[in-house]
């Protein structure tokens, strides 16, 4: 099955979707795009969680991503933070991460900074919906 990119606009009432992948600048430790909105509406709780990651924990977050399930951080079932800058340098690795979720549909932040179309040729085996608030 080849990926199907469709843009899905959600409101803050549509937060029961899963899995959601959101961009976060792990190298610089700051929000980008949708993660900035999540952080704003959670009064900085997202930034506070990421700032706890130091050394190997930060390196792991950059290379593997982070699952956020903390109550009160927008999405009901939690969400994944990935540094799109890191993952888009190796779209096959990003596709592998997406495929490992073993879901028929994955929501990915519709980034205005990174072109996600390389995922189409990288072996993604599910439908992808690009997510916007």
- pLDDT digits 0-9 by tens, 53-105: 999 999 999 999 999 987 778 888 999 999 999 999 999 999 999 999 999 99
pLDDT at residue 120, rounded to an integer: 78
Question: Apex CA 30: angle with CA 28 and CA 35, to 5°?
Answer: 140
Question: Apex CA 22: angle with CA 104 and CA 131, to 5°?
Answer: 60
**Per-residue pLDDT band at 3 (split at 50, 70, 90):** very low
Residue 1 has pLDDT above 50, yes or no: no
For 24-67, what is each residue's pLDDT tens digit? 999 999 999 999 989 988 889 999 999 999 999 999 999 999 99
Residue of 109, 70, 63, 71 lying closest to 90 (CA atoms): 63
pTM, two decimal places: 0.90
H helix or E strand, kind and range, residue 127: strand 127-132
For CA atoms 71, 14, 86, 37, the dihedral sign is negative
Residue with tokens 């997510």: 131
pLDDT at residue 30, rounded to an integer: 93
pLDDT at residue 4, rounded to an integer: 54
Max distance between CA atoms of the chain, in angstroms, equals 40
């Amino acid at each position: 099955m080849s990926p199907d990119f469709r843009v899905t606009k959600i409101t803050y009432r549509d937060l029961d979707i899963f899995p959601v992948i959101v961009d976060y600048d792990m190298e610089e430790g700051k929000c980008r795009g949708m993660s900035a909105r999540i952080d704003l509406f959670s009064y900085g709780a997202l930034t506070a969680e990421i700032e706890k990651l130091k050394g190997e924990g930060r390196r792991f977050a950059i290379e593997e991503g982070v699952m956020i399930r903390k109550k009160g951080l927008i999405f009901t079932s939690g969400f994944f933070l990935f540094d799109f800058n890191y993952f888009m340098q190796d779209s096959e690795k990003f596709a592998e991460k997406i495929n490992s979720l073993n879901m028929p549909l994955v929501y990915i932040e519709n980034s205005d900074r990174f072109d996600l179309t390389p995922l189409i040729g990288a072996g993604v085996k599910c439908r992808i919906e690009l997510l916007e608030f």
